[in-house]
């Protein structure tokens, strides 16, 4: 009599545990989304949403403090971290030390160290550059998965001027072009971003920019603040009225300059 192979094992156990955790997370996220929608209507929902957020941040940081080796890799790749903020000076200092112990933002390839000249989130070109950096890193890391990438949505890939997203043949061609850029194309040749390599990223900006936002990128809904920042009064230094081509050139130029602003020190 032939004995059947057991379908159990460490790998299967880990996969089941991962599926269970992911299902639990999705359920909690759905509940939070529903609670946030109710909070817009008032009544008791704002208080309950606050309670849920406080509890989540408490347990997150309690576990992170006890087992930092499990949470530091997450913090290192993040630009922000959930925490219950206390305005008291001593508590603020404790929170700052805690976040430093997790090495928050250390591996984001963005200057969050406080050393050198800090960049501003109020500068549209810096915001666009950070979003492009995140997308470039995702495209270079692996092929685009069937469920897509959060970084694609963040940059508004596939968005029309009216803000609507259209998943048509043109969008699929755009995804293939972006995947090619990151997996076998120019994206594979880019070094890690830092002050010394910002010029390499600047050189690649025009091509990558158009792949992400299209040829008529001045109409893209995610770039309107950048467009406004370069358009000003609609004239150049000599008083000549800016044309569409001039505006597009200035938009790309601002983003090219932003790489050096957001890059960490060498």
pLDDT tens per residue across span 47-79: 999 999 999 999 999 999 999 999 999 998 888
pTM value is: 0.75
Chain segment 111-143, per-residue pLDDT in tens: 876 565 678 899 999 999 999 999 999 999 999
Q: Two tokens at 99?
A: 């976040």
**pLDDT tens-digit readout, 149-169:** 989 999 999 999 988 888 999
- pLDDT recorded at residue 7: 54
Q: Where are the domains of the chain?
A: 18-101, 124-262
Mean pLDDT of 93-98: 94
Q: Average pLDDT, stretch 169-194?
A: 96
The answer on pLDDT for 215 being more than 90 is yes
Averaged pLDDT for residues 79-86: 92
Q: What percent of the chain has pLDDT over 90?
A: 68
Q: What's the CA gap between 28 and 33, in Å, rounded?
A: 9
In this model, does residue 82 exceed pLDDT 50? yes
In this prediction, residue 184 carries a pLDDT of 97
Q: What is the mean pLDDT of the chain?
A: 90
Averaged pLDDT, 5-21: 73
pLDDT score at 1: 46
Tokens at 89, concatenated: 């000076």
Q: Looking at the predicted structure, is the pLDDT value of residue 104 above 80? A: yes
Taking the CA atoms of 31, 36, 40 and 43 in sequence, report the sign of the dihedral they define. positive
Q: Which residue has the higher pLDDT, 194 or 3?
A: 194
Q: What angle do CA 71, 58, 85 make, to 5 degrees?
A: 100
Please compute the mean of the pLDDT values over residues 213-223 and round it to a whole number.
95
């Amino acid at each position: 009599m032939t004995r059947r192979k057991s379908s159990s094992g460490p790998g299967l156990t880990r996969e089941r545990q991962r599926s269970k955790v992911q299902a639990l997370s999705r359920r909690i996220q759905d509940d939070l989304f529903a609670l946030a929608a109710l909070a817009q209507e008032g009544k008791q929902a704002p208080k309950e949403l606050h309670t849920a957020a406080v509890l989540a941040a408490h347990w997150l940081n309690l576990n992170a403090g006890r087992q930092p080796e499990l949470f530091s890799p997450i913090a290192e790749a993040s630009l922000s971290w959930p925490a219950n903020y206390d305005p008291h000076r001593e508590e603020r200092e404790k929170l700052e030390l805690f976040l430093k112990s997790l090495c928050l933002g250390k591996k984001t390839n963005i200057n969050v160290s406080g050393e050198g000249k800090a960049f501003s989130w109020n500068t549209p070109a810096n915001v666009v550059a950070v979003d492009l950096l995140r997308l470039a890193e995702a495209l270079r890391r692996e092929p685009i998965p069937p469920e897509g990438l959060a970084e694609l949505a963040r940059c508004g890939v596939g968005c029309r001027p009216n803000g609507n997203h259209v998943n048509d043949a043109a969008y699929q061609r755009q995804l293939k072009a972006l995947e090619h850029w990151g997996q076998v194309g120019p994206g594979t040749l880019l070094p890690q971003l830092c002050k010394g390599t910002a010029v390499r990223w600047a050189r690649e900006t025009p091509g990558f920019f158009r792949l992400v936002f299209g040829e008529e990128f001045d109409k893209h809904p995610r770039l309107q603040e950048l467009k406004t920042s370069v358009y000003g009064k609609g004239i150049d230094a000599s008083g000549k009225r800016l044309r569409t081509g001039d505006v597009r050139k200035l938009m790309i130029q601002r983003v090219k300059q932003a790489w050096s602003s957001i890059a960490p020190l060498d």
